Every structure is written in structure tokens, then in C-alpha cells.
Amino acid sequence: MSEKKRIAVLASGGGTNFQSVVDACASGYINGEVCLLIYNRREAFVKERASKHNIPAIYLNKYMFGGDLDKHDEKMLEILREYKADLIVLAGYLSKIGKRVVDAYENAIMNLHPSLIPSFCGEGMYGMSVHKAVVDYGAKLTGATVHFVDYNFDTGAIILQKAVEVDFSDDAESVARKVSVIEHKILPEAVKLFCENRLKVVGRKVQIIE
């Protein structure tokens, strides 16, 4: 088996998807280890999850640099390189990744989005706003997508997608619960594939190598 990949997770909230990756590493499903958490909201519960597993957790927010995104990105890159991260996983991270970071980690930054991209995605579409939009539109299917990160919101090459049905009686909260179940499956699966060197990006397509 190849050497374990080092995974940095970026998160802003409760961290259930962070937990799914940590657990999958601990069980041996993923040939990797979560070496770092970067979080950008001081009250984010995810930092408590990191502490429980003795994973270094670093608070980093653009407002620490007076809103200077270049200085923020420079610091983020410095931290990622210090911890020798091979892969960056965005698990409910509510900020756009800067161009310098994207360039440094080309096809090595994954994001989890709570819909079937290209539907219900883009700037401003995150969390419950996505599920509310799905219900309001009357969509019969929604789901979750793991994709590589590029310079724009939710436009990178798609790695994995899984769908769930939206029933007539569903509201945003019930849709969120359905989607959460599949998020906790496809994010660890995508990370597993990366750590096994089984993902190849060809244009806009991602080939899964058997």
C-alpha cells in the first residue's frame, strides 16, 4: 500500500462531514490521515471535534488581515505547507478559496456541495438556502456533489454525485437530513479515491481508475 496522504480539512460549522473523513481514516477505509483543521468562525463546533481527536486546529479568517485576501492566502499556504498537506477538503467551508491556493493545489482541493451540480449552486448557494431553493422549485431529485475546486463557485470538475428523491411533503429541513446521509458517504469515498491515486482529470471530466 502506498504512503498515507496528509489531509487538511477546512470547515466553518458543526463539522459532521469533517467527522466522516476522520472516522473513515481511523477505520482504514481511507489510506490517509487528517493532519490539520483550518476553521474561519471562532464559534464553529468543528474545532471541538478536532480537539477530541488530537488534530491541530487553526483559526484563520480574512478579517485578521484587515480583509486583505492576498495576505490571508499567503498565510493559508504557509500553514498548509508547514503541515505538508497533500489534499485539501472543504467540508462546509463558507469562504471562497483564493487563486494562489488553487494554483498551488491544482486538482487537490475538493469541495462538497449539497445539490446535484449544476443545479442549485453558485455564489450565495450554501447550507439551508440550497435545500429551500430545491423545495421551492418543486424539484423531484436533489443530492450531493463532490468536485475539485477551481477559481469560481461550484464550477470545478465533478468527482462523485449521488441523488435522493424529494417527496411532496418534504421541507428544507427534511431534505437536508436526506442529503446529509449521502454527504457522509460520498465525501469519504472521494477522499479514498484521491488517496489511492485513482482520480484523473481530463478536461471537465474526472476518470475513476479501476
Q: Is there a domain that residue 116 lies in?
A: yes
For 45-81, what is each residue's pLDDT tens digit?
999 999 999 999 999 999 999 888 899 999 999 999 9
Q: Which three cell numbers stand for residue 107?
A: 486538482
Q: What is the pLDDT of residue 9?
A: 98
Here the CATH number for the domain that contains residue 144 is 3.40.50.170
Tell me the β-bridge partners of 162. Answer: 144
Residue 77 near residue 101, CB atoms below 8 Å: yes
Task: Indicate the pTM of the whole model.
Answer: 0.96
74 belongs to a structural domain: yes
Q: Point out which residues pair with 191 in neighbouring strands.
A: none
Tell me the catalytic residues. Answer: 113
* 208: in domain: no
Q: Is the peptide bond before 188 cis (omega within 30 degrees of 0)?
A: no
Whether residue 148 is contained in a domain is answered as yes
For the chain, give the percent of residues with pLDDT over 70.
100
- Domain enclosing residue 117, as ranges: 5-203
Is 210 domain-assigned? Answer: no
Residue 194 within a domain: yes
Q: Are strands 5-11 and 87-90 parallel, antiparallel or unpaired?
A: parallel
Report the pLDDT value the prediction gives residue 67, as an integer from 0 to 100: 80
Other C-beta atoms closer than 10 Å to the C-beta of 110 total 26
133-152: pLDDT as tens digits: 999 999 999 999 999 999 99
Pairwise CA distance, residues 193 & 54, whole Å: 25
